[in-house]
Homo-oligomer: A and B are copies of this chain.
Amino acid sequence: MKPKITLKDIARELEVSISTVSKALKNSEEISRDTKEKVQAFAKLYNYKPNNIAISLKNKRTKNIGVVIPAIVHHFFTTVIRGIEKYANAKGYNVIVCLSEESFDREVINMEMLANGSIDGFIMSLSSETQLKGDYNHLKEVTEQGIPLVLVDRVTNEVECDKVIIDDELGAYVATKKLIEQGRKKIALITTDDYLSVSKARTEGYKKALLESKMDIDESRILKLSTMEMDEQGIQDFFKNNDVDAVLCVNEIFTVYSMRLVQNKGLNIPEDISFIGFTDGLLSQYANPSLTVIAQHGEKMGEISAQMLIDKVESEDEEETFQTKILEPTLVVRESTIN
């Protein structure tokens, strides 16, 4: 066990001052070639690495960014993290991941843990409970303290900050339009409660497409489920009581589970009924039939979030100008719709 070596150790050993060592290691012009070589050789020999904490304390910058997301087992969020990691790491930043598990309290606790010097900025996606409560004081507090914040995907316009979202309304619109073009007349929507920003937008896109095609909006064809748990019974009841020929679902799981139900009823996909889901994840790729989906480009969203955040963190001037980056979703056609 060889403990870490410090500047002080080198200074003592070489009988110079700490400042000399520090400068020598930075190749400062102030220090003679002789001393620099001596110090650098010694440092290399003993594998000296400056202590990150000390540096953080000195320049009030940690090179850490905090990421608070509702869940990690959802494929979409893992791709977002991956994008963040990728960009952040290339810029020399570490990523501290905290999971709110859709809980308001855990979101608050996690932010407070990180907001006291541990990170230079936040990237976060709101928990569903937070969006339900509509309480964003914990976000406002960090922005008031001057900590940069980027909201991604699940956002709110209650707090002023940078945001990265996809055009969920457009995504649902395009998907619904696609189903209409295929001659579908009874198009269902399986979504989550409206307080989720994304769900609301998608419902609007769905309705917009229907209205544009002079089709009625039948509220009984819209199923709203909880975000917290997978309500299998709810979906079963829905298909028992409704006769539909196409379904748009706001996530992969709803889609795949619904497909199995109708398959067990003896229907053929996509001949008898079409499906389109959100999120282009493993489930969509490997489902049978494979899913036509609205791809959300999570990795791209993560990268952009990280870029916006790090730009803010590293910018000198304190211009209070925020932007919202809206990405366009992509329709990926596979086997669950007639192509």
Binding site for B on A (CB under 8 A): 1-4, 49-54, 56-57, 62, 64, 72-73, 75, 78-79, 81-82, 85-86, 89, 92, 94-99, 106, 110, 112-118, 144-146, 252-253, 256-257, 259-260, 263, 282-283, 286-288, 318
Interface contact B286-A288, CB-CB below 8 Å: no
* Measured CA separation A73–B96 after assembly (Å): 17
Is there an interface contact between A79 and B73, defined as CB atoms closer than 8 Å? Answer: yes
* Set of chain B residues within 8 Å of A110, measured between Cβ atoms: 89
- Evaluate contact between A113 and B94: CB separation under 8 angstroms: yes
Checking B51, B57, B256, B286 against A54 with a beta-carbon cut-off of 8 angstroms, the contacting residue is: B57
Q: How far is the CA of A95 from the CA of B318 in the complex (A)?
A: 30
Contacts of A72 in B (CB 8 A): 72, 78, 81-82, 85
A151 to B98, CA, bound (A): 21
- Chain B residues whose CB sits within 8 angstroms of the CB of A286 once the complex forms: 253, 256-257, 260, 283, 287
Q: Which residues from chain B contact A263 at a C-beta distance below 8 Å?
A: 288
Roughly how many angstroms separate A76 CA and B22 CA in the complex, as a whole number? Answer: 45
Q: Which of B99, B113, B144 contacts A85 (CB 8 A)?
A: B99
A52: nearest chain-B partner, CB-CB: B117
When the two chains form their complex, are residues A4 and B145 in contact, meaning their CB atoms are under 8 A apart? yes
Judge whether B52 and A116 touch: CB under 8 Å. Answer: yes
- Do A53 and B97 touch across chains, with their CB atoms under 8 A apart? no
In the complex, residue of chain B having the shortest beta-carbon distance to the beta carbon of A257: B286
A73–B75 touching, CB < 8 Å? yes
CA distance A286 to B49 in the complex (A): 49
Who on chain B is nearest to A259 by CB?
A: B288
Residues of chain B with a CB closer than 8 A to A79's CB = 73
Cα–Cα distance between A312 and B96 once the two chains are bound (Å): 21
